[in-house]
Structure 1
Amino acid sequence: MTFFRSRLAAAWLIAAGAASFAPAAMAQDLELTIMAPAGAGGGWDSAARALQEVMMSTGNARSVQVVNVPGAGGTVGLAQFVQGAAGSPNQLLVGGITMVGAIITNKAPYDLTAVTPLARLTGDPLVVVVPASSPYQTMSDLMEGIKGDVERTIWAGGSAGGADHMLSALITQAAGADPAKVNYVAYSGGGEALAAMLGGQVTAGISGYGEWQGQIESGDLRALAISYPEAIEGIEAQPLKAQGIDIELVNWRGIFAGPGISDEDKATLEQAIAKTVESPEWQDLLKARGWSDYYAPSDEFTAFIASESERVTSILTSIGLAE
């Protein structure tokens, strides 16, 4: 494992090094490398490649590369980024709420105070689903099932301690059951969790809406609720809050620069990202991907991370994954 991670670190540093000497004097001259601290095809990878696409198509960067460094809920990539991107105006990192959870549960050597928040970008609504064959027709039905036997209610989702796991714990608590007893099975990808649901191996599943949108629309899965605070156009499932369940949890994603960058470089990067997310191209992409615009500039994003870290710690403590 050490050898494998060393190879990943070397690949990241080589790829990033090509851009690391270019000055960030003007946004349109930026030559960037964005690290997605997960495998190809996941949420962070999709966000990184979406930013790559729109920054280049709008002229807000000259070139953008994406490098994948998977492992431990993003904390392997975060550590490599902190060590390799210090002071660089050309290296960026995508992260989100699952990384906050992984930092806490893995007792990672670095947290998000070690990097420079540039902007919160998107909010992916999580969706609670059951197989089409499930007897649970509504969210109320599922809540009654949890209350009746929490340990026989088996959840499928992503990494332990991630946003999916947190939402299952919050729903369990809202149903009046002990969140520490939530029966959660962590799968390495949405495809595996989907197979478990369609195979009748689990009771319910949680993921980003976009990941299971096709199966929801085909009728293979029944969407009971979304975790976003408000209803979303094009999504029939209603928010938990609208159904009388006082829970909201947004699977947010943001973009970070390395530690110790200059004020000038930070301003250049902030401007380039702000112009990108204000563009019609970015708004069209959000709509196509089923993402919500959750943009917040650097100062607001920094304060949000601090409050979110406290909230995530509280949730994970309730399920025994944090102290």
Structure 2
Amino acid sequence: MSRRLALLHCATLAALPSLAWAQTARPATTARPARLAPQLRIVIPANPGGGWDQTGRALGASLLQAGLAEQIDYENVGGKGGTLGLAHFADKYSGDSNALLVGGMVMVGAVALQKPRVDLSHVRPVARLTSDYLVVVVPAQSPIKSTRDLVAALRQDLKSVPIAGGSAGGVDHMFAGVLVRAAKAAPDALVYRPHASGADVVAALLKGDAVVGISGYSEVSEALGQGTLRAIGVSARRPVFGLPTFRDQGLDAEMANWRGVFAGRDIPAARVAEWAGALEYTAAQEPWQKALHKNRWESAWLTGKDLSEFIELSQTTASVMAYLLKLKS
């Protein structure tokens, strides 16, 4: 490791608790702001059905019910961990004051891995909305029934245990690397199969295209309820969703995800502030609170300077982890 990466590694590890386990924050209850515009647009850099799609559409519905718009247009542009949607948004809506882009840690990781032409410097962060945890699942008929079984399989022949998850470089991919390292298997042998949505991860497992899957709880909960998938553990520090943590099962593996929204780089700072105020009001209202409960998301409200610093730390973390875990696009 180069001296620069070594320094980044040390700094990142020191800061990881504040990044991955940011204290759950709820938006303040504020007075109802003025309507943003009759028509708003939310660009979702993923296919329908995944976590970003759920977040974007729940946010749009909440904005409508809060009376801050009369119509929301949704635009799904999936692929490459959100970087295709990011480029589309930056190219088409950079100066559009009525458009938002959904994003989060998955996009940060994809940018770190792919180093695309358009990165997060081409958009302006508005608000972090939610935090989520990852669930590791296997088909119901799998011989892997516990974390101990998973560790044994990873150590015995890692190449024969393909792992399905979200886009390359994203939080699912990072957590796959964390699991492999925690199991003391060689990261170089990791077979990671990226997919555009959690629904695709579930389908890959049920078709036998992967042995293990990683996704957010909201994206696998239906299959778990139907009994077609079985959960091995959750990436949280404490049990959630009625599932045990990996730490409680003797494996030092934990990670959190986050999702938020961005605006065009060329819109005025005053408009970013208007968006932040409107979203803070909306996030405190009952429709959004119901969406949090339904999808098992935790409120992780953050905006302004604190959000900018948080995203900078996220980017450093993603770059270092991609290097240490030898992640490949």
TM-score by length of 1: 0.84
Per-residue deviation, 1:59: 1.7
Q: Deviations over 1:276-297 (max 9, x none)?
A: 1111221111111222222222
* Aligned partner (choices 231, 248, 269) of residue 242 of structure 1: 248
* 1:131-146 paired onto structure 2 within 5 Å: 131-146=139-154
Cα displacement (A) at 1:142: 0.8
Q: Aligned-residue CA RMSD in angstroms?
A: 2.1
- Map Cα deviations across residues 103-159 of structure 1 (whole Å, 9 max, x no partner): 122221122122111111112321101122222221122112212222222212222
The residue number in structure 2 matching 1:158 is 166
Give the structure 1 partner of residue 283 of structure 2.
277
Sequence identity percentage:
38
Alignment match, 1:317: 323
1:180-259 equivalence runs, <5 A: 180-232=188-240, 235-259=241-265
Q: Residues 57-96 of structure 1: matches in 2 within 5 Å?
A: 57-96=65-104
Closer, same or farther in 2 for the Cα pair 1:62/1:308, shift >3 Å?
same
1:97 maps to: 105
When residues 27 and 109 of structure 1 are mapped into structure 2, their CA distance, relative to the original with a 3 A threshold, is: farther
Letter in 1 for 2:151: M
Paired residues of 2:90 and 2:122 also in contact (CA < 8 A): yes
> Does residue 178 of structure 1 match 2:186?
yes
More moved, 61-70 vs 190-199: 190-199
The amino acid that maps onto 2:60 is Q
Residue identity matched to 1:312: A
What is the aligned partner in structure 1 of residue 14 from structure 2?
none
Cα distance in 2 between the residues matched to 1:197 and 1:88: 40
Size of the aligned set, in residue pairs, is 296
Secondary structure at the counterpart of residue 28 of structure 1: coil
3-state SS, counterpart of residue 156 of structure 1? strand
Q: 2:35 aligns with which of 28, 35, 45?
A: 28
Distance change >3 Å, CA 162–CA 61, structure 1 → 2:
same
Deviation, 1:50, is: 0.7
Contact 1:27 1:61 in 2 (8 A): no
Q: Match for residue 295 of structure 1?
A: 301
Query: 1:319 Cα shift?
Result: 4.0
CA 1:32–1:216: 2 relative to 1, 3 Å: same
Aligned counterparts of 1:199 and 1:34: Cα–Cα separation in 2: 33
Shift of 1:198: 2.9
CA distance in 2, matches of 1:191, 1:45: 11
Distance 1:198-1:33 versus aligned 2 partners, 3 A rule: closer
**Letter matched to residue 189 of structure 2:** K
Partner deviation per Cα, 1:155-197 (whole Å, 9 max, x = no partner) = 1222222222211111000011122221222234444432432
8 Å CA contact 2:128, 2:307 repeated in 1: yes
Equivalent position SS for 2:236 = coil
Aligned counterparts of 1:54 and 1:47: Cα–Cα separation in 2: 11
Does the CA-based 8 Å contact 2:234-2:244 persist in structure 1? yes
User: How far apart, CA to CA, are the structure 2 residues paired with 1:312 and 1:69?
Assistant: 23
Tell me, in whole angstroms, the C-alpha distance in 1 between the residues paired with 2:235 and 2:297.
13
2:199, 2:220 within 8 Å by CA — same for their partners in 1? no
Letter paired with 2:320: S
Separation (CA, whole Å) in 2 of partners of 1:322 and 1:113: 23
Greater RCO structure (CA 8 Å; 6+ sep): 2
CA shift in 2, pair 1:269/1:164, >3 Å: same
Structure 1: distance between partners of 2:211 and 2:328: 26
Tell me: CA distance 1:184–1:287, structure 2 relative to 1, closer, same or farther (3 Å). same
AA at the equivalent of 1:88: D
Structure 2 unaligned runs (5+)?
A: 1-32
Note if contact 1:73-1:159 (Cα within 8 Å) is conserved in structure 2: yes
TM-score (norm 2): 0.83
Shift of 1:201: 4.3
Conservation of the 8 A alpha-carbon contact between 1:150 and 1:181? yes
Asked if 2 retains the 8 angstrom alpha-carbon contact of 1:231 and 1:238, the reply is: yes
CA distance in 1, matches of 2:74, 2:304: 22
User: Quick one: distance in 1 between partners of 2:251 and 2:176?
Assistant: 13
Give, as a single letter, the amino acid of the residue that structure 1 aligns with 2:205: M
- Answer yes or no: is the 8 Å Cα contact 2:51–2:197 preserved in 1: no
